[in-house]
A and B are shown apart, each in its own frame.
Chain A
Amino acid sequence: MKETRLKILQYVSGIAIFIVAGFHILYSHFLKEDVTEWNSIADRAADNWWLAFYVLLLIFGLYHGLHGLRTIILEYFSISNSTVKVLDYVFIIAGLAILGYGTYIPVEAL
């Protein structure tokens, strides 16, 4: 994918995180008191809407964070295009692995 498109996705994911993570922080700390209670997290894990909400947050967060890290690495290290491709695959695999683990946690804990 072209660098420009990756950058636009960085902006879009950033705005999405602001909305979704903003709600996550507000809900966790101000709207609901027993948010860390076992029953409360089990109820949310069993609700497909909540599950979709957290998976979306994870997707946006991982893309934004890993692309940001990639940007920093490419800015400070002069590496060849082939090495950049390897780095991209490493980030994609790492991102998918973390996403898989993050999705597995609530499903397994049901």
Chain B
Amino acid sequence: MQAINSKNRNLPNNLGIKGWVWAGRYTWERYLYTLHRLTGLGLLLFITIHLGINGTRIWGASSWEDAMDILETPAFKVGEYLVVAAFIFHALNGGRLILQHMAYTLGKPKAPIYPYVDAMRQNRLLMWAVLFVIVVLAIFALVLFVI
């Protein structure tokens, strides 16, 4: 990776994979970061499974219909909901990350007067708003897909 130069390459990653389960002082944003990655990996796995199931079409209508019968089972309905919930979370949290990374949420520069407001706390309202929308949509999807 170009961003890691040869001087830094041997430095240990402070938290490593443990940082996915223990956020330390970073609290909410760090857990959202973990969940963003887990949902992303889950959705990537889903794409491959989805393509695998779609592939049954090659063997004709009866193979396809057999595959569709399996998808009608309750376990797959729950799985389907988890995919939709992961999509909702990943999309909305991803939107928040884009806004933050592109610095749209930082506001105008202010004089550094105590108590200081760091960028993370400045963005926290947006985080709560996005979380609220995610929870509402996830509940809505639960009603539509499972209940």
For the complex, give the distance between the alpha carbons of A96 and B99 in Å.
Answer: 30
Cross-chain contact B58 with A105 (CB below 8 angstroms): yes
Instruction: Tell me the complex Cα distance, A11–B68, Å.
Output: 34
Give A79-110 as 1s and 0s: 1 = Cβ < 8 Å from B's Cβ atoms. 11100100000000000001001100110110
Chain B residue at minimal CB-CB distance from A110: B57
Given A3-B1, A3-B2, A38-B64, also A101-B51 (CB < 8 A): yes
Within 8 A of B (CB), among A46-83: 58, 61-62, 65-66, 68-69, 72, 74-76, 78-81
Whether B57 and A68, one on each chain, are in contact in the complex, defined by CB atoms closer than 8 angstroms, is no
Q: Which of B4, B17, B41, B144 contacts A29 (CB 8 A)?
A: B144
- Given A101-B55, A109-B57 in contact, is the A11-B98 Cβ separation under 8 Å? yes
In the bound complex, residues from chain B placing their C-beta under 8 Å from that of A72 are: 37, 41
**At the interface, yes or no: A32 with Cβ under 8 Å from chain B?**
no
Residue of A nearest to B102 (CB): A11
Q: Would you call A102 and B1 a contact (CB within 8 A)? A: no
In the complex, A80 Cα to B9 Cα: how many Å?
8
- Chain B residues whose C-beta falls within 8 Å of the C-beta of A84 in the assembled complex: 1
Closest to B59 in A: A109
Asked if B44 and A25 make an inter-chain contact with CB atoms under 8 angstroms apart, the answer reads no
A14 touches B1 (CB 8 A): no
Kindly state whether residue B147 has any CB partner on chain A within 8 Å: no
Q: Check A75 against B57 for contact (C-beta < 8 Å).
A: no
Are A98's CB and B48's CB within 8 A?
yes
In the complex the two chains form, what is the Cα distance from A14 to B99 in whole Å? 13
Q: Contact between B94 and A81 (Cβ–Cβ < 8 Å)?
A: no
24 A-B interface contacts by CB (under 8 A):
A2-B2, A3-B1, A3-B3, A14-B91, A18-B94, A22-B91, A29-B144, A30-B144, A36-B68, A36-B71, A38-B61, A38-B65, A41-B57, A68-B44, A69-B44, A74-B4, A78-B4, A79-B1, A80-B9, A98-B51, A101-B55, A102-B54, A105-B54, A105-B57
| B contact residues vs A (CB 8 Å cutoff) | 1-4, 9-10, 13, 16-17, 37, 40-41, 43-44, 47-48, 51, 54-55, 57-58, 61, 64-65, 68, 71, 84, 87, 91, 94-95, 98, 101, 144-145
- Apart from A58-B47, A78-B13, A105-B57: 18 A-B pairs, beta carbons within 8 A: A2-B2, A14-B91, A18-B95, A25-B84, A25-B87, A29-B144, A62-B47, A65-B40, A65-B44, A68-B41, A69-B41, A72-B37, A75-B13, A78-B4, A98-B48, A102-B54, A105-B54, A108-B58
